């Protein structure tokens, strides 16, 4: 058994970053502002043809990208919406809802800013896909790095 598996199952991926924003602003940027910081060229279904992404802020809301041609690719659905503390989404970019994993993102005040904690779980659904899992282990680091960069941009 390797370090990413417990009893044959892939462990949840846990990531944590600090941002110099209060929880309300950190939550708002991660959700409503995702189109301003998400690295679409590398982390989307349409790649270079992706022009924006949108997270609809409500339970049942979609998280999706839009391509230059106007096509939409759904990445997931909001399962829990608790601004500014937490959101939970099913997660299946480029796949079907039947293949969904789950992403939980929480926002906790810490000193002068916010600790964002992301947990990507549900890897036990379907056939374990270690390559896909490993891609997310490093992929979330890259995505959260872009989110941190987005917190440093002037508010619009």
Of 89, 82, 103, 88, the closest CA to residue 23 belongs to: 82
Residue 155: its pLDDT value, please? 58
Place of tokens 């079907």: 96
What is the token pair recorded at 93? Answer: 């970019």
Residue 129: its pLDDT value, please? 86
Kindly list the distances between the CA atom of residue 147 and the CA atoms of 19, 20, 97, in Å, as whole numbers in the listed order: 9, 12, 25
Q: How much is the pTM? A: 0.93
Residue 104: its pLDDT value, please? 98
3-class secondary structure, 26: helix
Q: What is the largest CA-CA distance in the chain?
A: 48
Residue 3: its pLDDT value, please? 59
What is the token pair recorded at 83? Answer: 């601004």
The radius of gyration of the chain from alpha carbons, rounded to an integer in Å, stands at 15
How many angstroms separate the CA atoms of 31 and 96, rounded? 22
Domains along the sequence of the chain with CATH: 5-151 (3.30.530.20)
Residue 8: its pLDDT value, please? 61
Residue 126: its pLDDT value, please? 66
pLDDT per residue rounded down to tens, the chain (156 residues): 455 655 568 999 999 999 999 999 999 999 999 999 999 999 999 999 999 999 999 999 999 999 999 999 999 999 999 999 999 999 999 999 999 999 999 999 999 999 999 999 999 876 678 999 999 999 999 999 999 999 987 654
Residue 21: its pLDDT value, please? 98
How far does CA 3 lie from the centroid of its chain?
23
Query: What sign results for the dihedral spanned by CA atoms 155, 140, 63, 83?
Result: negative
Residue 1: its pLDDT value, please? 43
The vertex-9 CA angle with 117 and 106, nearest 5°, equals: 10
């Amino acid at each position: 058994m390797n370090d990413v598996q417990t009893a044959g199952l892939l462990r949840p991926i846990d990531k944590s970053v600090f941002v110099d924003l209060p929880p309300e602003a950190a939550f708002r940027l991660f959700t409503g502002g995702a189109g301003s910081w998400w690295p679409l060229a590398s982390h989307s279904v349409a790649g270079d043809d992706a022009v924006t992404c949108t997270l609809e802020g409500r339970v049942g809301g979609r998280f999706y990208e839009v391509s230059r041609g106007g096509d939409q690719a759904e990445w997931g659905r909001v399962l829990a919406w608790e601004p500014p503390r937490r959101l939970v989404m099913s997660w299946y970019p480029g796949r079907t809802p039947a293949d969904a994993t789950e992403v939980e993102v929480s926002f906790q005040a810490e000193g002068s800013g916010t600790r964002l904690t992301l947990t990507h779980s549900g890897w036990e659904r379907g056939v374990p896909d270690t390559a896909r899992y490993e891609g997310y282990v490093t992929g979330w680091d890259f995505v959260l790095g872009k989110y941190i960069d987005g917190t440093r941009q002037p508010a619009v």
